[in-house]
Amino acid sequence: MIALDTNILVRFLTEDDEAQTALANALISSLSEKNPGFICREVMVELVWVLERAYKRDRSAIAQAVEGLLAAPEIRVEAAEDIGRAAQRYREEGLGFADVMIAKAAERAGASELVTLDRRAAGISNVRLLGS
């Protein structure tokens, strides 16, 4: 198994640089269920941020890309269930992908709540807006 960095996934998904896309595509094509690629939570959070901010992709397209990576048999994704739920809430409820992932990390750690100053993030269960 090899770990994949965000830039590999960005090139694979956006195909915006011919040479780097060719390298990323060749690497992804070389993966298999027996020799998979690994994507950590942090890479998925960064990937969503890059696609949203730098590439101006819409939520539906980003969620679809994340779900495609989750479904690929040659890819292992850390906290896949959390990431799948975050992608769904990101698309359907307008919540921030990173915010949902942070809330899930707090939950996994046994925190009773996540305290934030972010009003939008406070819409997630077990997240409390400080000062309210």
Single-letter residue type at 50: V
Q: Which residue has the tokens 């298999």?
A: 32
**Where do the domains of the chain lie?**
2-129
Looking at the DSSP assignment, which residues form a beta bridge with residue 114? 127
| Cα gap 23→5, rounded to integer Å | 13
Residue-wise pLDDT for 78-121, tens only, equals: 999 999 999 999 999 999 999 999 999 999 999 999 999 999 99
pTM equals 0.91
Looking at the DSSP assignment, which residues form a beta bridge with residue 76? 38
Kind of pairing, strands 75-77 and 127-129? unpaired
Residue 89: CB atoms within 10 Å? 19
Q: Which CATH class is domain 2-129?
A: alpha beta
Residue-wise pLDDT for 5-24, tens only, equals: 999 999 999 999 999 999 99
Residue-wise pLDDT for 20-57, tens only, equals: 999 999 999 999 999 999 999 999 999 999 999 999 99
Single-letter residue type at 128: R
